[in-house]
């Protein structure tokens, strides 16, 4: 994690722009950094810019049984939050579904940093299969 954060800072210096880390979610074999609530907190406290994918947090919440609303709110509101990705899933995988019902994190959208880019990753062309 420390090495990834250092590389992120170096890339920002090299390119002269903000470089953000996108948090992930738990997966078999634990292949990704920033896939647990403590790792999200460490990213938040690192001072490095980041992107929040709310569907990734839904998978994390389903796997861990925990919704850390306070951390998500603080991360969304922070000026280092440069992107917010919005889509839905069933908590088992990142399916990029359109949000048809308000998910648990919906009330937290009001805290988004006004300078962050917010976009839907929901595939609006794909028909929903019941």
Which tens digits make up the pLDDT trace of 5-36? Answer: 999 999 999 999 999 999 999 999 999 999 99
Q: Is the pLDDT of residue 123 over 90?
A: no
The pLDDT of residue 129:
55
d(CA 3, CA 122): 32
Q: Could you tell me which residues are beta bridge partners of residue 86? A: 120
The pLDDT of residue 127:
58
Q: Tens digit of pLDDT for each residue in 32-82?
A: 999 999 999 999 999 999 999 999 999 999 999 999 999 999 999 999 999
d(CA 119, CA 105): 15
The mean-pLDDT minimum among 9-13, 81-85, 98-102 falls in 98-102
d(CA 28, CA 17): 33
Is pTM beyond 0.75 here? yes
């Amino acid at each position: 994690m420390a090495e990834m954060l250092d590389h992120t800072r170096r890339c920002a210096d090299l390119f002269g722009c903000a470089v953000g880390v996108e948090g992930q979610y738990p997966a078999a074999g634990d292949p990704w950094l920033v896939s647990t609530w403590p790792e999200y907190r460490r990213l938040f406290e690192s001072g490095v810019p980041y992107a929040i994918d709310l569907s990734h947090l839904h998978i994390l919440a389903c796997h861990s049984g925990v919704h850390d609303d306070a951390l998500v709110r603080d991360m969304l509101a922070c000026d280092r939050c440069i992107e917010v990705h919005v889509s839905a899933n069933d908590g088992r995988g990142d399916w990029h579904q359109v949000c048809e019902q308000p998910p648990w994190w919906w009330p937290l959208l009001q805290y988004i940093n006004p300078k962050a880019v917010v976009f839907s990753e929901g595939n609006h062309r794909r028909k929903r299969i019941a």
